[in-house]
Amino acid sequence: MAQALDTDFLPYLFSVILVVALLFVKVVFLDRSGGFFLNTIIAGWQNMFITISNNAFVFYSPFGKKKLSQQHRELLFKKNHYYRYLSPEQRKAFDNRLVHFKASRSFIARNNVVLTEEMKLLISATAVQMTFGLRWYMMREFSRIAVFPEAYYNKVHDRFHKGEVNPNGLVILNWKDFYSGNEIPNDSINLGIHEFAHTLALQQLNNNAFKDRFFEDNFNKLMNTISNPVFRKIIQQRAGLRNYALTNPMEFFAVVSEAFFENPFQLYRNHKSIYVLLTKMYNQDLIRFYKKGVQPLTNLSLNSQ
């Protein structure tokens, strides 16, 4: 007589398969999902990956990719310096992230500014550029972006501001200075990068569910290094950063981020250790990235035929 098959293990097997399947789904859509439990698991795997490969983990989902129109891709190629150096495959991932980021923002026109699709596209592209090496790129807690036509008067501080980040989830920019920073890609002055650096720092510091541990660890290293005003001034002068970096550690981070994305070669020559720290923090080696040269823009509509 045949022995009955022991099925006591099946519930456990099913549970394991279910957990693995859920983790797979989460990892596939890692750039748009999170949670403290998942983040803890992925952070442990990421740290192991970093130890072995000396590179931070980043995953661009191959599924559910959103596409930009060819017109918008041509606009970015013309007006976003970073976009021109992306490989065709990187552009697909960039486009996907940009579409999701822009769709999740509420853009607010201030002082009679006329908000156009081009403005929304270029603002979103700056945020995606900065987080392109990170897992969490959505900056979910800062879903509102207010745009002024030019520098605006802030009653609380009794002076004109070019931009700011409000902890209640509002990013404020003025289009004149944002556009100027975008048009001149190598002067280390970029309002969009500056304000989104503040946004990213606040997001990482305040939200455990969407916290990139690799970014956080290196961000803390930078903050500890520049917390002393004397050391901050020494580093600022050696790195060739403008004096506004001396205001406080958070402003130093925003200013050095501008230099990192706009003039990485000069930052490397001036202060190699700060450049290397930022490559780890953002998971982007911009010297290697820009050395590739401009990558031709393909027409996706033609390629799909």
Handedness of CA 207, 212, 216, 217 (dihedral sign): positive
- How confident is the model at residue 305, as a pLDDT? 45
Query: Cβ-count burial of 282 within 10 angstroms (0-12 exposed, 13-18 middle, 19+ buried)?
Result: buried
Q: Of 79, 76, 210, 188, nearest to 143 (Cα)?
A: 210
Q: Are 50 and 270 in contact (CB under 8 A)?
A: no
Ordered per-residue pLDDT tens for the chain, 305 residues: 455 545 555 555 666 676 666 555 555 555 455 555 665 666 666 667 766 766 656 667 666 678 999 999 999 999 999 999 999 999 999 999 999 999 999 999 999 999 999 999 999 999 999 999 887 788 888 999 999 999 999 998 899 999 999 989 999 999 999 999 999 999 999 999 999 999 998 987 776 555 677 788 899 999 999 999 999 999 999 999 999 999 999 999 999 999 999 999 999 999 999 999 999 899 899 999 999 999 999 886 655 54
Beta carbons within 10 angstroms of residue 142's beta carbon: 23
SS3 159: strand
Question: Which one is the CATH code of 70-303: 3.40.50.300, 3.40.390.10, 2.60.40.10, 3.40.630.10?
Answer: 3.40.390.10
How far is the C-alpha of 86 from the C-alpha of 91, rounded, in Å?
A: 6
Note the helical H segments in the chain. Answer: 10-28, 36-53, 70-79, 88-103, 117-130, 175-183, 191-206, 213-226, 229-239, 249-262, 264-270, 272-282, 286-291, 300-303
SS3 227: coil
- How confident is the model at residue 136, as a pLDDT? 76
Count of all residues that appear for the chain in the document: 305
Tokens of 66: 């959103």
Indicate the domain borders of the chain.
Answer: 10-53, 70-303
How far is the C-alpha of 28 from the C-alpha of 26, rounded, in Å?
A: 5
